[in-house]
Structure 1
Amino acid sequence: MDIIDVRSLFTVACLCVFVGIVVWAYARSNKAQFEEAAQLPLAED
């Protein structure tokens, strides 16, 4: 295994992590939590 294989594996791993984060961020089950968090700066104490 040379450096090109390591770099290729690292690129694929980073792509998988990125896709996982995107799927998590756009999941419908998280929408309510994100809406609540978006309103926190506007909430009165």
Structure 2
Amino acid sequence: MDINDLRGISTLFLMITFIGMCFWAYNRKRKTAFDEAANLPFADEELNQATMQEEVKNG
């Protein structure tokens, strides 16, 4: 076994890992979890608006 065999094995391992991650990311079972995670930055906006409205009312 020389360095070229090691390079080939590592390339194959990384390719299989990448394909596995793609299948994991685009799996239909994960869609709801990813949609919820995508909307997390907007969840704070409603809280901030409510807080700002209370501050305006209180002076």
TM-score range relative to shorter protein: over 0.9
Higher percent of residues as helix: 2
* TM score, norm. by length of structure 2: 0.74
Q: Which has the larger radius of gyration?
A: 2
Q: RMSD of the alignment, in Å? A: 0.6
Q: Post-superposition, which runs of at least 4 consecutive aligned residues in structure 1 deviate over 2 A?
A: none
Residue 15 of structure 2 is aligned to residue 15 of structure 1: yes
Q: Name stretches of at least 5 consecutive residues in structure 2 with no aligned partner.
A: 48-59
Q: Name stretches of at least 5 consecutive residues in structure 1 with no aligned partner.
A: none
The higher-RCO structure (CA 8 Å, 6+ apart) is 1
